[in-house]
Amino acid sequence: MLPEIVRQTAIKFSNSAAYISQDGNKITYRELDQISQEVAAWMGSKGLGEGSVVALCLPSCIEYILSYLAAAKLGAITAGINPRFTNPEQLEVLEVLRPNLILTTSDIDSSKLNNVEVEKVQVSAASGEFMPNNRIQNQTINELPSDPDRAVCICFTSGSTGTPKGALFTNRQLQAISTIDTGGAWGGAGHRYASTEFAHVGVMTKLPWLLASGGTTHLMEKWRAEPILRLIHDNRIAAVSAIAPQVALMLKVEGADRFDFSCVKAIVSGGALASPELVKAGRDFFDAPWSIRYSSTESGGVGLGTSLDADDQEALHTVGRPRLGVEASIRDDEGQLVTPGEIGEIWLRSDAIMSCYWNDPLSTKETIIEGWLKTGDLAFQDPNGCFHLAGRINEMFIRGGYNIFPLEIEKVLSAHQSISEVAVIPRKDEVMGEIGVAVIVPKEFDNPPSLEDLRKHSQEYLAQYKLPEAIRIVETLPRNTSDKIDRLKLREYEDSHNGV
């Protein structure tokens, strides 16, 4: 799929800029096709072909896209390794992946990986010098026959526990994702910015339609709120794509009123809780509707979403309904549908769901049941058909025999006027088994809310047994490489300090 699309974009959008780096370096659609062809020839000289695996330990740069396209032209499978991973984390992923070739900008100890070639890639600083040491010119690459079941990419999950898992996607799933996201439309994208690492499912599985849109993507070496706002202003970007914490940082930029956001037609976010107060503030700030999306790596980055014209009940308190082409249900531990309003696990089904976990048939069998994906996320469905998240299965804890779902409590606490961010975690208790601890980032660190304040604020919305029974004040919440709250680190701290 990708080879055909990049060839067509080279014709349809020939001299339009496909990507522009922060230092102003750019590449056109015609150059994307031509240079990726030359990189493919170089990869072929290394013995790579259909079914080979290429690991990209690269930053989110133009070279990453060129390498991904080159591998696709050979029928090789590309796996992105998040550049924010530490060296041990990268090696852990690589041991699961077992690639044939690693492309990297830094040194990697591959002694634990047998028969793996490691090649350095130079990130260019001047147009026309992309990957000079990784190209062979004037060499013909045979076009691959169409095959919807050809494997294209592997996306590793961002979970903070257990062995890394790589979700495998084929041409068939990439086509389905393009159809769900855009209906197969070509052109009309204008300018946008890269809001996630390229190793993320939001780029790896969506690159076909991102290219087909013919837009110009602006790259940032590191995500920063003010430069993003300037990009939106300068390039008249129509869609603000960000996770909730990024939007919150945008709202804190001093002097943001000097920018003109009349170009913004929508805010789209996923990956983290967006409190009702943040949604309201974001809508006011950009004077645009906000769509909250829910998905996962395994679902191909498509799942549920709130409508841009939703009423406040849907827009502020839910993750909406299944998107067109997606089925969703809520099930109990036995896989049976729960009673409406009851909390259970979200199951998803669509043509976009991963084929399997790479080299992990047991986890695949446990996760995909008769075409349904078990997400591990908890939710309930309201009478209007909207889904309300309640947290992860492995985040739930039990107080005095009652199941406690942290996200349900966090939604209420986040509305407190003195709280900037909050996470609820369990603490061992001799009487109740576990109790809830509210880890708070206050808006004013010198004047944080008290436990009594939080309980009084929450008692109107939560049963008594759900109210937090301890509080911990912190300056920031730890986050993983996908900017989700790292609850494992919070719980490790709690356990090591014995609740002190």
Going from N- to C-terminal start, the domains of the chain cover: 1-222, 397-496
Determine the Cα–Cα distance for residues 169 and 204; give it in Å rounded to an integer: 9
**pLDDT computed for residue 126 by the predictor:** 62
Q: Around Cβ 282, how many Cβ atoms within 10 Å?
A: 22
Determine the Cα–Cα distance for residues 366 and 381; give it in Å rounded to an integer: 24
**pLDDT computed for residue 396 by the predictor:** 83
**pLDDT computed for residue 500 by the predictor:** 41
Those residues with Cβ within 8 angstroms of residue 202's Cβ, 6 or more apart along the chain or in another chain: 195, 196, 301
Segment-wise mean pLDDT, segments of 10 residues, the chain, 500 residues: 96 96 92 96 96 95 96 97 81 91 83 81 77 92 93 82 84 97 89 90 95 95 92 96 88 94 95 83 96 94 95 94 96 94 96 96 95 94 93 84 85 90 89 89 91 92 90 89 78 67
On whether the CB atoms of residues 472 and 438 are closer than 8 A, the answer is: yes
Given the candidates 3.30.300.30, 1.10.260.40, 3.90.230.10, 3.40.50.1820, the CATH classification of the domain at 397-496 is 3.30.300.30
**pLDDT computed for residue 160 by the predictor:** 45
Q: Rounded to a whole number, what is the distance in angstroms from the first to the last CA of the chain?
A: 55
Determine the Cα–Cα distance for residues 439 and 272; give it in Å rounded to an integer: 16
**pLDDT computed for residue 217 by the predictor:** 96
Given the candidates 2.70.70.10, 3.40.50.720, 3.40.50.12780, 3.30.70.270, the CATH classification of the domain at 1-222 is 3.40.50.12780
**pLDDT computed for residue 162 by the predictor:** 60
Q: Reduced to 3 states, what is the DSSP secondary structure of residue 72?
A: helix
- Class of residue 431 by CB neighbours under 10 A (exposed 0-12, middle 13-18, buried 19+): exposed
Phi-psi region of 257 (alpha: psi -120 to 50; beta: other; left: phi over 0): alpha
**pLDDT computed for residue 122 by the predictor:** 87
Q: Around Cβ 169, how many Cβ atoms within 10 Å?
A: 27
CA distances from 144 to 206, 225, 459 (A): 21, 42, 62
**pLDDT computed for residue 158 by the predictor:** 59
Those residues with Cβ within 8 angstroms of residue 416's Cβ, 6 or more apart along the chain or in another chain: 449, 453, 454, 457
